[in-house]
Amino acid sequence: MDQEIKCAVIGTGYVGLVTGACLADLGYHVICLDRDEGKLESLRNGKVEIFEAELEPMIVRNMKNGSLSFSADIKSAVSDSFYIFITVDTPSDETGRADITNVEEAARRIAPGVNSYKIIVNKSTVPVGSTNRVMRIIEESEPEYPEFDVVSNPEFLREGTAVFDFMNPTRIVIGSDSEKAIMHMTELYRPINAPLLITDPISAEMIKYASNAFLATKISYINAIANLCEYIGADVREVSLGMGYDGRIGFEFLKPGPGFGGSCFPKDTRALLAIATDYGYNFDLLKGTLEVNRRQRERMVEKLERMLGKLEEVKIAALGLSFKANTSDVRESPAIEIVRMLRDRKANVSAYDPKAMDNARKQLEGIEFADNPYLAARDADALVILTEWDEFKWLDYPRIAELMKRPIILDTRNLLDPQVLRKEGFTYEGVGR
Ligand code: UDX
């Protein structure tokens, strides 16, 4: 591939690092930028703070062969590059709106480096109209070279499989009104085999929100069905299987649990609701999606209380703290929120997670962290599975039954086999079964 094609990637969070590493792996010359010098230094030493399959070796490999480097100097990286990616985070503000301060700041810092025609590619999830906002900020800074394009190119990476998702996307969305930019973006992604959707920037921005909020709604829907199954005595796993055979519904994203979490679904659903409100559209469906999700966490706590009789002064072993399996990310994790609620109800929680303990420690006070699941389970009145880590499937449950004060399991992820556990003497409850 053409080593002469240079890319600058601004922001070394999840999306930035995956984008930078994968572009380098495709053969482009990539500079990843961040203002945090400490972070840059540890990246240069091959240390990636986030746990993401394949990412660290890919970064190390591409640094070694000279395709990937890290810097804090945005101006010269932009001057040297043709494609400039904005991959900074857009956190929720108090009203649920996506805060685009970081994107605006990136645009201001890009402007002085625009010394020839460049394509600025926005990958951050931003409210509709932000592509134009970035364009205006750069224009108003009167860059050295007047011609540049800003393109919306949303990412659909899932944590845990982000590298795979970058290389094998379900689709590539390019939002731009400039034929020249579209041609260059098509060229950039030529090595990747995926349907290419070329559209206007506002529609591209909307595709991202509409997709995430739809998937979030699908999860809230199956959670509501699961709750109803509990009342009527149906098994939600059979129900979702029966639904999934209908190609219009599909099997994916029909797993009930403690509600969706993570860095995207809660934030993007709130943001889309806020966008609708701002334009005077009452998007009740999304209010329902968020309300079911909020209540779902509470339901898990109420279930546990019913199983135990009370929560005060009981010991609860909490297995799993990340928002889903195969990630160390605890952002908006239902597990963390449930543990907090248990703690506030005066339960003594002993928690374990294979990868998220360090991140969880920063967010959770007043609970105990156990070095392994068996230590967490010792003398516990109940064990609650909060994240669907594979290793929790293969624990020595007879041993756990012996260690616990009372053999009670609440499996909020329907990870375990109820029949086997009941045979081993546990009182078992899942979700919707
Ligand atoms: C998501 C989107 O999938 C991705 O396309 C987008 O770019 C970013 O947001 P991610 O947040 O990494 O990715 O996780 P995902 O695997 O989609 O799960 C999100 C949440 O939904 C998790 O809390 C997960 O446990 C929950 N979930 C998912 C369910 O409760 N049930 C399901 O059936 C699927």
Q: State in Å: Cα 155 to ligand 1 middle.
A: 14
The token duo for 150 is 């800003």
Q: What is the CA radius of gyration of the chain?
A: 24
How far is residue 231's CA from residue 26's CA, in Å, rounded to a whole number? 52
Q: Is 70 in the pocket of ligand 1 (CB under 6 A)?
A: no
In the chain, list all ranges with CATH 3.40.50.720.
6-199, 200-433
Nearest CA to 86 out of 166, 142, 173, 8 is that of 8
Q: Is 324 in the pocket of ligand 1 (CB under 6 A)?
A: yes
Residue 306, H or E segment: helix 284-308
Q: State in Å: Cα 221 to ligand 1 middle.
A: 14
Measured in degrees and rounded to the nearest 5, phi and psi for residue 35 equal -90, -15
Q: State in Å: Cα 323 to ligand 1 middle.
A: 9
- Amino acid, res. 394: W
Q: Is 340 in the pocket of ligand 1 (CB under 6 A)?
A: no
Q: Whose CA is nearest to atom 5 of ligand 1?
A: 156
Q: Whose CA is nearest to atom 8 of ligand 1?
A: 264
Instruction: Look up the CATH number of domain 6-199.
Output: 3.40.50.720
Among 166, 243, 265, name the best residue to mutate to test ligand 1's pocket (greatest count of ligand atoms within 8 A of Cβ).
Answer: 265
Measured in degrees and rounded to the nearest 5, phi and psi for residue 383 equal -120, 130
Task: Note whether 352 and 319 are within 8 A (CB).
Answer: yes
Return all residues near 145 (Cβ < 8 A) that are at least 6 apart.
114, 115, 116, 117, 118
Residues 43-81 pLDDT 10s: 999 999 888 989 999 999 999 999 999 999 999 999 999
Written out in words, the top-level CATH class of the domain with range 200-433 is: alpha beta
pLDDT-based confidence at residue 1 (cuts at 50, 70, 90): very low
Q: Is 261 in the pocket of ligand 1 (CB under 6 A)?
A: yes
List, in sequence order, the alpha helices (H) in 168-283: 179-188, 201-232, 236-244, 265-278
Residues 362-377 pLDDT 10s: 999 999 999 999 999 9
pLDDT-based confidence at residue 4 (cuts at 50, 70, 90): confident
Q: Is 158 in the pocket of ligand 1 (CB under 6 A)?
A: yes
How far is residue 58's CA from residue 356's CA, in Å, rounded to a whole number? 22
Residues 219-252 pLDDT 10s: 999 999 999 999 999 999 999 999 999 999 999 9
The stretch 146-167 carries a mean pLDDT of: 97
Q: Is 254 in the pocket of ligand 1 (CB under 6 A)?
A: yes
**Residue 264 is among the residues annotated as catalytic for this protein:** yes
The token duo for 297 is 């966490």
Residues 107-122 pLDDT 10s: 999 999 999 999 999 9
Return all residues near 168 (Cβ < 8 A) that are at least 6 apart.
192, 193, 194
Nearest CA to 404 out of 423, 385, 379 is that of 379
pLDDT at 354 exceeding the cut of 70: yes
Residues 293-310 pLDDT 10s: 999 999 999 999 999 999
The stretch 326-337 carries a mean pLDDT of: 96
